[in-house]
Amino acid sequence: MRQSSDGPARPRAAAAAATAAPAPPPRPPQRASPSLDHSTRKVRLTDHELFHCVQRVVVPAQSPVNLTRLSRKRGWKRIRLGVPPTMHMYCRVRDTARAKRQCQVAVGGDLRATLSELQTLVRASSESESNALLRALFGSQFIYSSLVHTVAAPTTASRSGPLDGPQLTVRTASFARKRGPVVFHSRPPSSATSRRGPPTTDDSGSGRGTFFPSRSKNDQCCYVELLTPTRNGFQVTFCTLDAADVRAGKAPPDRVVPLHLVSGWLVVAVSARDPALLHLTFHAAFPGTVPGGCDVAVAQHRLKCIAKGICRLDKVLRRRRATATLTCATAALTTTTSTCDRQCPTRDRTWPTWRHPFRGLTADDYRGNTHRNWHCIACTRSFFPTLRKCWRRCDLCAYRVCSAPPCCARERVAIYNRYIAPLTVCARCRECIDERASESHVRASGNDANNPLRSSMGDVRYTGVSLQFPERASNVEAELDVDSSSDGSHDRRWGSSGTLRFSHELRQPKQRTSSTSVVSTGAVNCARLSRDEDICAGGEEEEGEDAVLGAASTEL
């Protein structure tokens, strides 16, 4: 059996009963247009190069893979903590001949679900679905994910819709690293000049000490994944990209540690014993440390977290079914529930209050187990715990961001092409707006400029908000200029979270719109923005690298 990262074949780890081999990967498309590459494309690599990069990950031809045959003599250790009994998780770290430490994880087990249900969940074709899935799998360790680029296969006669064909996506994901209490090593005053340069000295308090800034950085990975349907299931292959190859959806380099040269695959097939069961096999490997990348300790910790998240797929599917059932049942009991809440507002909420005193008691605490994202989605800075409020919510996606640029900025946004309002827009939403605006400019300057339907404006879906970009600012009727920070009555309408957010700012006088260019935002989904302050919107190559991937031995 062959493993990812071009490892050697080892047939002893394959299962005795092999199913049909996966279908060959789709043919890479042609190179994109140069105008689109420089104006709207968020990835420096072409589609052909992206396909070539992800196709280097080798998937075993025989499936399912029997992970119970992994031997401890080869360094494999089974992890039972945090893994359900229906899943098996193994991990190993070994040293290679090139004095590099490699780490691998493998997960296998059965899921009771339909193939279409699991494939729809894993596909996550929108950014909101991707953030909801990763948040459910990784919990508070997940910060934010951006859908940078998508290449969907064209619909043919054999495939009825786009969900039946392969899909190539480029995504970025940020993860928070768990930190313990900060320990400062005391030093005598006489040795103040003998300290080394890299550690940072903290002289703000009476007890002087040193700490290492690299330990406080979060993790970020830019990766490309390819989902390909097979005869009796589907497979997902992925590999990380260099951060320089992705132009959007990233945090500043000095705030995160890049997870690079990580590759793996996920194979899902219908079980031969029971058609109602799906057999799942996951494998990921880190071939070794490269200059500018993470070390083996960071990669091992993150791979274990990803493997444990794969083990929670069954739990996420059950929760989605329960949520769908409760939604239908709650629709008929809305009036009764609201009456009971008014009569007994603190019923069954005492214990959650003591456990989580800094969280708002909302309906989301009891449905879906959604967590509160206390990190800036632009720079991954942590806001919790803090005594001073240094964050705001983006008025478009409702995520927390730093209150100072470049994480957020005040933009004059036109609502329904009529109302002008200064809203707080985060850097992630700003990138999406700039990309769509430049794309409209390219279309207007092309051959379709005479077509008003093609050149006037285009719609794009981004975190539950429908954005529209007119060609000229004069298309917006300046009937009313709304200031979202001036009156609390506009909070529910414009997505603001109350006058407390902008209590430290001076209220800006209302003015008429001028001839400056504005960004038109239409069909704002205000239902996604809650009135409570603590609710988080759920639903956001070098040759040396090829040599490292080729030399990595990741056999099972």
Q: Do residue 307 and residue 400 come from a single domain?
A: no
Q: Do residue 118 and residue 231 come from a single domain?
A: yes
Q: Do residue 255 and residue 396 come from a single domain?
A: no
Instruction: Tell me, yes or no, whether 187 lies in a domain.
Output: no
Give residue 288's pLDDT band: very low, low, confident or very high (50, 70, 90). Answer: confident
The Cα–Cα gap between 34 and 40 comes to 10
Instruction: Tell me, yes or no, whether 125 lies in a domain.
Output: yes
Q: Is the pLDDT of residue 51 over 80?
A: yes
pLDDT value for 113: 92
Q: Do residue 396 and residue 492 come from a single domain?
A: yes
Query: What's the CA angle centered on 346, arms 341 and 348, to 5 degrees?
Result: 95
Instruction: Tell me, yes or no, whether 208 lies in a domain.
Output: no
Q: Do residue 401 and residue 306 come from a single domain?
A: no
pTM: predicted TM-score of the whole model, two decimal places = 0.68
Instruction: Tell me, yes or no, whether 185 lies in a domain.
Output: no
pLDDT value for 338: 55
Mean pLDDT of 184-202: 45
Of how many residues is the chain composed? 556
pLDDT value for 39: 52
The Cα–Cα gap between 509 and 419 comes to 15
- Domain carrying residue 437: 391-528
Q: Is the pLDDT of residue 434 over 80?
A: no
pLDDT value for 290: 84
Best CA proximity match to 66, nearest among 102, 110, 23, 104: 110
Q: Do residue 312 and residue 434 come from a single domain?
A: no
Q: Do residue 260 and residue 140 come from a single domain?
A: yes
Instruction: Tell me, yes or no, whether 254 lies in a domain.
Output: yes
Q: Do residue 313 and residue 418 come from a single domain?
A: no
User: Which CATH number does the domain housing residue 68 bear?
Assistant: 3.30.530.20
Q: Worst-scoring range by mean pLDDT, 269-283, 385-399, 430-444?
A: 430-444
pLDDT value for 286: 95
Instruction: Tell me, yes or no, whether 219 lies in a domain.
Output: yes
Q: Do residue 310 and residue 437 come from a single domain?
A: no
pLDDT value for 195: 45
How many domains is the chain built from?
A: 2
Q: Do residue 303 and residue 450 come from a single domain?
A: no
Q: Residue type at 90?
A: Y
Q: Do residue 125 and residue 26 come from a single domain?
A: yes
For the stretch 409-421, pLDDT in tens is 888 777 766 677 7
pLDDT value for 244: 93
Instruction: Tell me, yes or no, whether 47 lies in a domain.
Output: yes
Q: Is the pLDDT of residue 454 over 80?
A: no
Q: Do residue 288 and residue 408 come from a single domain?
A: no
pLDDT value for 153: 67
Best CA proximity match to 152, nearest among 47, 235, 57: 47
Sheet holding 465-468, edge to edge: 459-462, 465-468, 519-521, 408-415, 419-426, 480-481
